[in-house]
Structure 1
Amino acid sequence: MLITDDFLPVPVPESLSATYLVPTVGLPSVTARTAVSGLAGRLAEPVHGLARQMLDSPLMSVDVRPIGEFPELPPDLLSAFGAGAEQLDRLAAASHLVVVQAEYRPGWPPAHEWAARAVAAAVAETVGSDVVDVFGLQFLDPAAALRTLPDAQGRVRLVDWVLVPYSSDAEGLWFTTKGLRRFGLLELQTQGVPDHLTRAWGAVMTGAARRLLRDWTDGLTGDDVPAFVQLPVLATVTGHDIAVAYGNPEQHGATAPVLLRLELDPATDPEADSFLSLRPPAGHAGPAGRYFAAACATLFAGIQPDVRYARADDAMSRAVATARAGLGDIRARFRGGRLPAETQLVVKYGLPGVDGPEYVWAGVTSWDSPERIVGVSASDSNTDATVRIGSPVAVEAADIVDWAVLDATGVIEGGWTQAVLDAGNPPTP
Structure 2
Amino acid sequence: MLITDDFLPVPVPESLSATYLVPMSGLPAVGTKTAVQRLTGRLAEPVFGLARQMLDSPLMSVDTRPIGEFPALPPDLLTAFGATEEQLARLAAATHLVVVQAEYRPGWPPAHEWAARAVAAAVADTVDSDVVDVFGLQFLDPATALRSLPDAQGRIRLVDWVLVPYSSDSEGLWFTTKGLRRFGLLELQTQGVPDHLTRAWGAVMTGAARRLLRDWTDGLTGEDVPAFVQLPVLATVTGHDIAVAYGNPEQHGATAPVLLRLELDPATDPDADSFLSLRPPAGHPGPDGRYFAAACATLFSGIQPDVRYARSGDAMSTAVATARASLGDIRARFRAGQLPPETQLVVKYGLPGDDGPEFVWAGVTSWETPERIEAASASDADTDPTVRIGSPVVVAATDVVDWAVLDGTGVIEGGWTQAVLDAGERPAPPL
1:343 and 2:351 correspond: no
Distance 2:157 2:117 in 1: 15
Match of 2:383 in 1: 383
User: Given residue 303 of structure 2, which amino acid in structure 1 is its aligned partner?
Assistant: I
**8 Å Cα contact 2:298-2:410 kept in structure 1:** yes
The match for 1:142 is: 142
Q: Give the CA deviation at 1:357.
A: 1.6
Question: Equivalent residue of 2:132, what SS?
Answer: strand
Identity fraction in percent: 88
SS at match of 1:383: coil
Aligned residue number for residue 239 of structure 1: 239
Q: Deviation at 1:314? A: 1.1
Letter in 1 for 2:188: L
Q: Deviations over 1:354-397 (max 9, x none)?
A: 22221111111122212221111111111111111001111111
- 2:365 counterpart residue number: 365
Is contact 2:239–2:252 with CA below 8 Å preserved after alignment?
yes
Number of equivalences: 426
Name the aligned partner's letter for residue 210 of structure 2.
R
Q: Aligned ranges for residues 185-196 of structure 1 at < 5 Å?
A: 185-196=185-196
Q: Which moved more, 1:272-281 or 1:416-425?
A: 416-425
Contact 1:419 1:425 survives alignment (8 Å): no
Give the counterpart letter for 2:25 in structure 1: V
- How much has 1:45 moved relative to structure 2? 1.0
Matches within 5 A, 1:166-245: 166-245=166-245
Q: Specify the code of the residue in structure 1 equivalent to 2:137.
A: L
User: Which amino acid in the other structure matches residue 287 of structure 1?
Assistant: P
1:124 is aligned to 2:93 = no
Structure 1 residue 24: deviation in Å? 1.6
Q: For residue 424 of structure 1, report the CA deviation from its aligned partner.
A: 4.1
State how far apart, in whole Å, the 2-side matches of 1:409 and 1:183 are.
35
AA in 2 matched with 1:33: K
Per-residue Cα deviation, 1:179-215 (whole angstroms, up to 9, x for no partner): 0000000000000000000000000000000000000
Q: Shift in Å at residue 310 of structure 1?
A: 2.1
Distance in 1 between residues matched to 2:237 and 2:334, nearest whole Å: 28
Using structure 2 for the length normalisation, give the TM-score: 0.97
Alignment of 1:39 with 2:39, yes or no, is: yes
1:318 corresponds to which residue? 318
Classify the secondary structure of the residue corresponding to 1:247: coil
> What TM-score does the superposition give when structure 1 sets the normalisation length?
0.98
Match of 1:267 in 2: 267
Match of 1:18 in 2: 18
Kindly indicate whether residue 73 of structure 2 is the aligned counterpart of residue 73 of structure 1: yes
Q: 2 CA distance for matches of 1:47 and 1:401? A: 44
Residues 96-136 of structure 1, C-alpha deviations (whole Å, 9 max, x = no match): 11111000000000000000001111111112211111101
1:9: which partner in 2?
A: 9
Contact 2:360–2:379, Cα closer than 8 Å, also in 1:
yes
Are the counterparts in 1 of residues 403 and 414 from structure 2 also a CA contact under 8 Å?
Answer: yes
Indicate the residue corresponding to 1:330 in structure 2. 330
- Pairwise CA distance, 1:239: 0.5
- The answer (yes or no) to whether the contact 1:11–1:228 under 8 Å persists in 2 is yes
Per mean C-alpha deviation after superposition, the further-off stretch among 318-327 and 249-258 is 318-327
Give 1:340 deviation, angstroms: 1.6
Instruction: Give the corresponding residue for 1:54.
Output: 54
Is the 1:18–1:135 contact (alpha carbons within 8 Å) kept by the matching residues of 2? yes
**Residue identity in the other structure for 1:259:** L
The answer (yes or no) to whether the contact 2:103–2:112 under 8 Å persists in 1 is yes
- Matched with 1:91 is 91
Paired residue secondary structure (1:384): coil
Cα deviation for residue 88 of structure 1 reads 1.2
Greater shift after overlay, 122-131 or 265-274?
A: 122-131
Q: Distance in 1 between matches of 2:312 and 2:169?
A: 35
Tell me how far 1:398 sits from its aligned partner.
1.2
The DSSP-based 3-state class of the residue aligned with 1:345 is strand
Cα distance in 2 for residues equivalent to 1:346 and 1:166: 28
1:261-309 Cα deviation digits (max 9, x unpaired): 0000000000000000000000100000000000000101101011112
What amino acid is aligned across from residue 171 of structure 1 in structure 2?
E
1:64 maps to 64
Q: How large is the Cα RMSD of the aligned pairs?
A: 1.1
The aligned amino acid for 1:258 is V
TM superposition shift of 1:76: 1.1
* Letter matched to residue 144 of structure 1: T
Q: What SS does the corresponding residue of 2:3 show, helix, strand or coil?
A: coil
Corresponding residue for residue 404 of structure 1: 404
Following superposition, the deviation at residue 351 of structure 1 comes to 1.4
Q: Deviations over 1:25-57 (max 9, x none)?
A: 122112211111111111111111111100110
The ranges of structure 1 where at least 4 consecutive aligned residues each deviate by more than 6 angstroms after the TM superposition are none
